[in-house]
A and B are shown apart, each in its own frame.
Chain A
Amino acid sequence: MIQAEGLTKRYGDKTAVNDISFTVKPGMVTGFLGPNGAGKSTTMRMIVGLDRPSEGSVTVNGKPYAAHHAPLREVGALLDAKAIHTGRSAYNHLLAMGATHGIGKARVNEVIGLTGLESVAGKRVGGFSLGMGQRLGIAAALLGDPATLILDEPVNGLDPEGVMWVRQLARHLASEGRTIFLSSHLMSEMALTADHLIVLGRGRIIADAPVADILATSTRTAVKLRSPRADQLAQLLQGADVTITTTEHDALTITGLTAPVIGEAAAQAGIALHELTPVGASLEEAYMELTQDDVEYHAGTTPTITEEAAR
């Protein structure tokens, strides 16, 4: 359980996180979503006490992170895959991290096995690929067998197998009743992993709802149809809240009416339909809609999602 109350972080006159309050509940995967520069990483660093909030507070399992007797058992955090000394082997890194809490070799070997790092555990981290670095970061986060797991962009640099593994791991750990808080700028990834979404844009929360609700609120839920008498049908279906676009000479895309309503109307008018397809908005589209005014870096007119730059 993570609870943030009026959390604010300012760097000089730039406000990275602006008065946000949210709760991340146990037993589910909560996605933390937003364009780059939205304040996701800053928020996560404040949760584990690396950055001090300018205002507000955040607690983990009822206490500030630093007040816990065994912080690594409360929270496992992957905040930056590169937060590892490059001159040390993966095994020694984990051993040193674990030693602070009296976590020994047995558990270190366990998380090495869990993350598939057996073959490189003895090698120095400097030679690791981005994907191996991510796995090592996740291994470190799992060391204390934590009740809450915070993962900042965990699938960055992972191969498809690794992405699938992170997804399964997150879902599995959530099913054990743990709190899983996972950030990404990739909506498609979240659609497959998260139960609940907190969407951040320019340091403010612009949505905090179950994934299904965020999908449902999208205005882009549409119905595609094909008919030889498409023009007639378009006139028939016109209404106040209805938008009809002609995509081809015999095809229409209609928003504001459901497929059954359209089907019934066509049948009553005796118009034959060759296709009638409800088109659910993808989470990606819903996300674009939510964040279109909150993307910090626009490229021309298209909101772009680029690699995270300076924090």
Chain B
Amino acid sequence: MSATTITTRPDARLSAPGIVRSEWIKLRSVRSTVWSYAIVVAASIGIAALLASTFGFGEQIPPAELHNGIIVQAATFGLYIGQLVVAVLGVLVISGEYSTGMIRSTLTAVPTRLPALAAKAVVLFVSTFVVGLVSVFGALLLALPILAGYGIEADFGDGALLGNLVLAALYLGLVSLFALGLGTILRSSAGGIAATLGVILLLPTIISAVIGITQAQWAMDISPYMFATAGTGIFSPGGPLSQGENLLVVLAWVAVSLVGGALLLKRRDA
């Protein structure tokens, strides 16, 4: 407890890898992260098992060209829940710092500010992508033998099956980035979560309701560009946009959210 001499550390300096490591320590050292990712994996695998075993094909085996689509659907269906959990986590990564005051410690250590947000984005994206991979491939491993029982066999020949599963994990990572941006803009857990889930869940529902009631052409035109609609289109082909176009749409959403957050973070008092 006495004031002992403090040794000097002339080598210490702010660096990009250091900031990334710092954000990684922060992400892994709160319980919400562990819980969120556990739920994503559990939901993915659980729902895949449920879905695969309850597909009602009866006596008729679907034609072979549909098999891969059915398998992707089974392996990624859990992500509909997973994306909501990841959205909440993405908001909390930054809003939790605002609600606790931690942001002032963060920005004192990284006074140029933007590297801290960039590091958060990198760490969150990579972690969520990896969790997404574990989820969909875990779900795949579980669903394959069950589906094989119905005579549905995977065709790994052209790589499209595995590619789509990787794209699904990529989408999950992009959801976390979109949420991080909104959390940075709104600086509040409640507001950030409401806004993110509103965009992901509510917006497509509202648009379809508008289409159903008014048949409005503008609503039909913008419908494919909604975040979650384009997002699921990244890994399940067949919609009005190509997979590449869907990816670009989602990237645009993410860019608007993150750039908006970055501009405000740089400008505002903390």
Seen from chain A, the residues whose Cβ lies within 8 Å of a Cβ on chain B are: 45, 48-52, 65-66, 68-73, 77, 79-80, 82-89, 92-93, 95-103, 107, 110, 114, 116, 140, 142, 144-145, 161, 165, 168-169, 171-173, 176
How many CB-defined contacts (below 8 Å) exist between A and B? 139
* Beyond A48-B111, A52-B269, A84-B102, 13 extra complex contacts between A and B, CB < 8 Å: A49-B111, A50-B107, A72-B14, A83-B105, A87-B31, A99-B19, A99-B21, A103-B9, A145-B7, A145-B8, A145-B9, A165-B1, A168-B2
The residue from B22, B104, B109 contacting A79, defined by CB atoms under 8 A apart: B104
Name the residue of chain B whose CB is nearest to the CB of A144.
B12
Contact residue among B2, B7, B12 (Cβ-Cβ distance under 8 Å from A70): B12
Interface size in chain B (residues, C-beta < 8 A) = 41
CA distance A110 to B5 in the complex (A): 11
In the bound complex, how far is the Cα of B117 from the Cα of A275, in angstroms? 69
* Residue in chain B with minimal CB distance to A167: B3
Does B65 make an interface contact (CB < 8 A)?
no
B21 cross-chain contacts in A, Cβ below 8 A: 99-100
Report B-chain residues with C-beta under 8 Å of the C-beta of A93. Answer: 105
CA distance A82 to B102 in the complex (A): 8
Contacts of B102 in A (CB 8 A): 83-85
Stretch from B71-79, B81-89, B93-101, B232-240 at the A interface = B93-101
| Residue B30 lies at the interface, judged by CB distance under 8 Å to chain A | yes
Residues facing A in B31-54 (CB within 8 A) are 31-32
Q: A66–B29 contact, CB under 8 A?
A: no
CB <8 Å contact, A66 and B111: yes
**Closest residue of chain B to A147, judged by CB?**
B8
Please determine whether B13 and A69 come into contact, CB atoms closer than 8 angstroms: yes
**Which residues from chain B sit less than 8 Å from chain A, CB to CB?**
1-9, 11-15, 18-19, 21-23, 25-26, 29-32, 96-97, 100-105, 107-112, 269-270
**Minimal beta-carbon separation of B151 from chain A (angstroms):** 49
On chain A, the residues within 8 Å of B26 by CB distance are 85, 88, 92, 96
Contact A100 B22 (CB under 8 A): yes
28 A-B pairs with C-beta separation under 8 A? A45-B104, A49-B107, A49-B111, A50-B104, A66-B111, A69-B14, A70-B12, A73-B9, A73-B12, A83-B104, A92-B25, A92-B26, A95-B25, A96-B29, A97-B22, A100-B15, A100-B109, A101-B15, A102-B12, A103-B9, A114-B4, A145-B6, A145-B9, A161-B1, A165-B1, A169-B3, A171-B3, A176-B5
Complex-state Cα separation, A114 to B1, whole angstroms: 6
Indicate whether A65 sits within 8 Å of B111 (C-beta atoms), given known contacts A73-B13, A97-B105, A107-B9: yes
Q: Contacts A71-B14, A101-B18 given; indicate if A79 touches B9 (C-beta within 8 A).
A: no
Bound CA–CA A50/B3 (angstroms): 29
Rounded to whole Å, the gap between the CB of A128 and the closest CB of chain B is 12
Chain A min CB distance to B24 (Å): 8
In the complex, which residues of chain A have a beta carbon less than 8 angstroms from the beta carbon of B11? 102
CA distance A100 to B22 in the complex (A): 6
C-alpha gap A107/B9 in the complex (Å): 9
Known contacts: A66-B112, A73-B13. The answer to whether A140 contacts B105 by CB under 8 A is: yes
Q: B3, B5, B26, B31 — which one has the most chain A CB atoms within 10 A of its CB?
A: B3
Chain A residues positioned under 8 Å from B15 (CB to CB): 100-102
Bound-state Cα–Cα, A125 to B270, Å = 21
Q: For B6, what are the chain A residues with a Cβ–Cβ distance below 8 Å?
A: 110, 114, 142, 145, 173, 176
Question: Nearest residue in A to B26 (C-beta to C-beta)?
Answer: A96
Find out whether the CB atom of A77 lies under 8 angstroms from the CB atom of B108. yes
Chain A residues near B14 (CB-CB < 8 A):
69-72, 100-101
What CA separation (Å) do A27 and B120 show in the bound complex? 38
Q: Which residue of A lies closest to B12 (CB)?
A: A101
Which of B4, B23, B102 gathers most chain A CB within 10 Å? B102
Interchain CB contact under 8 A, A99 and B18 = yes
